[in-house]
């Protein structure tokens, strides 16, 4: 098993030194789902929510979340993101909204945490805006789908291709 990179020889928390790493183009895609009642999904789809455009607010929140990742996750490097994209797919047959986020930069460390944070904050925003009409919603399946760049190159999760498109 590989040793944990955020723990030093004394077992103390440690921010990884990336100063010697090469700058490469790096990207990551993550996804998650907010499961809800059909009426809640219809309310969002039809723009009938009294709080306004739920998806627009969640998109902005997700982008902002990615940009603030280092403020939220201890030992996470602050990154100069070059792209953050948050998209939604309404899936009424599964009573859910799929959230997908892409983060990209030219840098020395990966952007998986930023993509995961974008999805998480977008999901939390959807939940917050709709909890009064559907308090039983659930947030599920937040995961990295793919990443590229750095010395390890490309990695992709082995799941249904319909769930991986951004």
Concerning whether 128 is annotated as a catalytic residue, the answer is: yes
User: CB-based burial of residue 127 (10 Å sphere; 0-12 exposed, 13-18 middle, 19+ buried)?
Assistant: middle
Provide the token pair at 150. Answer: 């750095």
Contact 126, 51 (CB under 8 A): no
**Which residues 6+ apart lie within 8 Å of 166 measured at CB?**
29, 85, 87, 100, 101, 102
d(Cα 160, Cα 139) in Å, to the nearest integer? 20
Active-site entry in 71, 93, 106, 128? 128
| Strands of the 96-107 sheet, one edge to the other | 83-91, 96-107, 24-35, 138-148, 155-156
Annotated active-site positions, please?
A: 128
């Amino acid at each position: 098993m590989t040793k944990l990179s955020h723990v030093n020889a004394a077992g103390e928390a440690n921010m990884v030194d990336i100063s010697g790493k090469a700058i490469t183009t790096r990207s990551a895609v993550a996804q998650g789902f907010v499961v809800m009642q059909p009426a809640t999904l219809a309310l969002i789809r039809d723009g009938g929510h009294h709080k306004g455009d739920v998806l627009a607010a969640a998109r902005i929140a997700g982008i902002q979340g990615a940009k603030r990742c280092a403020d939220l996750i201890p030992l996470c490097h602050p990154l100069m993101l070059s792209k953050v994209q948050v998209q939604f797919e309404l899936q009424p047959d599964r009573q859910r909204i799929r959230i997908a986020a892409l983060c990209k930069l030219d840098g020395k460390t990966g952007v998986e945490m930023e993509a995961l944070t974008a999805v998480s904050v977008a999901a939390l925003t959807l939940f917050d805006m709709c909890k009064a009409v559907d308090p039983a919603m659930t947030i599920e399946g937040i995961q990295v789908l793919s990443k590229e760049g750095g010395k390890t190159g490309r990695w992709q999760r082995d799941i249904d291709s319909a769930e991986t498109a951004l």
